[in-house]
Structures are given as C-alpha cells and as structure tokens.
Amino acid sequence: MNKKILGIFLIGAILLASSVATAQSVGWTTYENEKYNFSIKYPDEWGKNEVSGDMYAVVSFSGPKGKNIAASVQVVEVESPKNLKEKIVAKNFSIGGITQKQIIIVKNGRMYVMTFVANHEAFKEANDTYFKEMIKSFKIE
C-alpha cells in the first residue's frame, strides 16, 4: 500500500514538474493599463487587441494559431459594490466543446472580469501552461 501511495506521489510530482518547466519555457510580456490600474502577463507569441470607452476597457489575448486558446480582461466602472473582500472564481464550465473559466474581482468601484477559454480537449494543457501564470500575474494597483 505504501508503494502505491509513493508511486502516485511520484507521478504527481513528475506531472507538476513538467507543467512548471513548460510554463517557464514560455516567454512572457506584461500588459499594463494605466487608466484602470491593472497589469497582467501574457505569452510573447500571443496576439493582443484593446478596446476602451468612457467607462470600460477590454483587452483580449489570442493564443497560438490553430490552438483555439484565448484570454481576456474586461473592466467596467460600477456603482455598487465598491469592493468585494474575495474574488469570485467560476468553476470551469463547458458549452458546445469550449471550456471556460472566469474570475471576477471588484475593487475601487471597478469590476475586473478575467475570462480564459479553450477547446475542451486543450483546456487542461492551456490552463497549466498559460492561464495559471496569467492569473497569478494579474495585479490591480
């Protein structure tokens, strides 16, 4: 029984080391938005598109061609609540072969919505390689 537990632990450690090595091999660029005081890292080879208005901003990042991976940050001015003590994390959900994760943070009268999307088959790898690092890097000043 102890050998099974040790074997499971070793397999988990190898998988974790593999995903960390993959994430570290990706080159990262930092996107900064001065108007809404946030920053997020995204992979160098990804495309970026920005749209903004008087009370909102959206920045979208598109992954490598043919992989159908994307991420975005939307910021909207809100009246209430001004702040939430905890971020809201929507569990991964799938619609029509696409899996999505959302994280919502409300701070200083602004709602920040991070959305991460990939084909269902590619989501786990995209999450381990890109999305986790992007989430970890997200900062509101």
CATH entry, 28-140, from 1.20.970.10, 3.40.1000.10, 3.40.50.720, 3.40.50.970: 3.40.1000.10
Task: Tell me: pLDDT of 134 over 80.
Answer: yes
Tokens representing 43 are: 């992979």
Nearest to 94 by CA among 54, 67, 121: 121
pTM of the model: 0.78
Radius of gyration over alpha carbons of the chain, in Å? 17
Which residue ranges make up each domain of the chain? 28-140
CB 135 within 8 A of CB 127: no
Q: Where are the alpha helices (DSSP H) in the chain?
A: 2-25, 123-126, 132-137
Buried b (16+ CB within 10 A) or exposed e, 119-136: eeebbeebbbbbbebbbe
Task: Quick: pLDDT tens for 9-22.
Answer: 434 434 443 344 44
Instruction: Provide the pLDDT for residue 24.
Output: 54
